[in-house]
A and B are shown apart, each in its own frame.
Chain A
Amino acid sequence: MDLSWMAWTLPTSLFWVCLAGLLIGMGIWEYFSPGGNPRVGILRFETTRGDRLFISLLGSAFIHLAWLGLVGPNLWWALGLSLIYAIGVFRTV
């Protein structure tokens, strides 16, 4: 099957592989610990671990965009900041 019209590149493929990996990882986590671990955190509404992953990914996208707009194209620091943010979300939200 010719997928050249989708204009695949190595970095974008890695991005999607990481996303798919995260989803598979969440699936495995759910298999061993079903129910999604719902709790009420600092946002004052109930979140499951799927919600927390979504908030982490969405926030990370904005962190990367903000870094790109305010600092520059070197995104490694933005990635580090996003990881810290994601850990914070999973622990407190």
Chain B
Amino acid sequence: MDKPYNNKAWFLVIPVFLLVALSAIIPIMTVINYSFQDTFGNNQFFWAGTEWFQDVLHSDRFWNALGRNLVFSMIILSIEIPLGIAIALTMPKKGIWVPVCLVLMALPLLIPWNVVGTIWQIFGRADIGLLGHTIEQLGFEYNYASNVFDAWVTIILMDVWHWTSLVVLLCYAGLVSIPEAYYQAAKIDGASRWSVFRYIQLPKIRGVLIIAFLLRFMDSFMIYTEPFVLTGGGPGNSTTFMSIDLVKQAIGQFDLGPAAAMSLVYQLIVLTICYVFFTVMSNVGVDKPDARVED
């Protein structure tokens, strides 16, 4: 029997459409209009064609910021995902310590991003911060404001501290949903701890792991507030990620045309990743048609 369709339901979408029009469509229309023009203020615009896009695509500044974004995302993913799994595996599955661990894990996620930046800004200072002071006492020179390596280490540590909990909580949710019978069967077969992880736990948390991976990739790729508060993009441009560069160009230099072009290229990249994210999430656990067993 054919599925009935009622297209009148589309009218129910109108309120949301109006809301999105005000918050997203009209601003993006303006950004696209700006990206093809130059302005000197006072609402005067001059047609520039595709000049700003060419500038962005041929600019080292843009590619360097994109490269920094990708390197940053790769580093934090390679730390946060294994660390998150490891912590989730060691968390208790029952008893009084479960809520304690969950609350402790959730705490960093509840702190506003600019506050996280401020916390680590103070934490990393050699004169008053615990981290900076301890490192200096150990005999190492540490200054995230003047040393590129120190700045990167501090930003990575900050992100790991802030977001590993998300991976932990997602993995933990996946782990507690595994039925006890799997573990009992593994015990009867004399499986090692590694085998239990490799053949039972890892396949069972595959779905949440993909979500955690993509969520962290998206978030880290769009990172702005924490590094902006901590280093302001410095020293030099060493921690200037694309979002920070964009704000510098649009608000700092008032180069609205080039900034609009750059933001559109940035948005296209984010939109593509979002689509991959959405597609993978929608297809996690869905049987492929050719994988189905024919009767």
Query: What residues make up the interface of A, taking CB atoms closer than 8 Å to B?
Result: 4-9, 11-12, 15-16, 30-31, 34-35, 40, 44-46, 54-55, 58, 61-62, 65, 68-69, 73, 75
Contacts and interface: CB of A to CB of B under 8 A. Distances in A.
B32 to A, nearest CB: 6
Contacts of A30: 7
A35 B3 contact: yes
Contacts of A12: 29, 32-33, 36
Which 7 residue pairs are nearest across A and B when measured between Cβ atoms?
A69-B57, A34-B5, A7-B33, A7-B45, A6-B30, A12-B33, A73-B50
A88 B279 CA distance: 20
Contacts of B47: 9
B218 interface: no
Nearest to A73: B50
A45 B283 contact: yes
Main secondary structure of the interface of B (DSSP, over half): helix
B112 to A, nearest CB: 31
A31 B7 contact: yes
B72 interface: no
Interface stretch (B86-94, B195-203, B267-275): B267-275
Max chain B C-beta neighbours (<10 A), residue from A6, A30, A75: A6
A7 B35 CA distance: 10
B30 A7 contact: yes
Nearest to B27: A6
Interface in B1-59: 3, 5, 7, 26, 29-30, 32-34, 36-37, 39, 43, 45, 47, 49-51, 53-54, 57-58
Contacts of B29: 6, 12, 16
A44 B288 contact: yes
B289 interface: yes
22 contacts: A6-B29, A7-B34, A7-B43, A7-B45, A9-B37, A12-B29, A12-B32, A16-B32, A34-B5, A35-B3, A40-B289, A58-B268, A58-B271, A58-B275, A65-B53, A65-B57, A65-B265, A68-B53, A68-B54, A68-B57, A69-B57, A73-B51
A68 B264 CA distance: 14
Given A44-B288, A61-B268, A6 B33 contact: yes
A75 B50 contact: yes
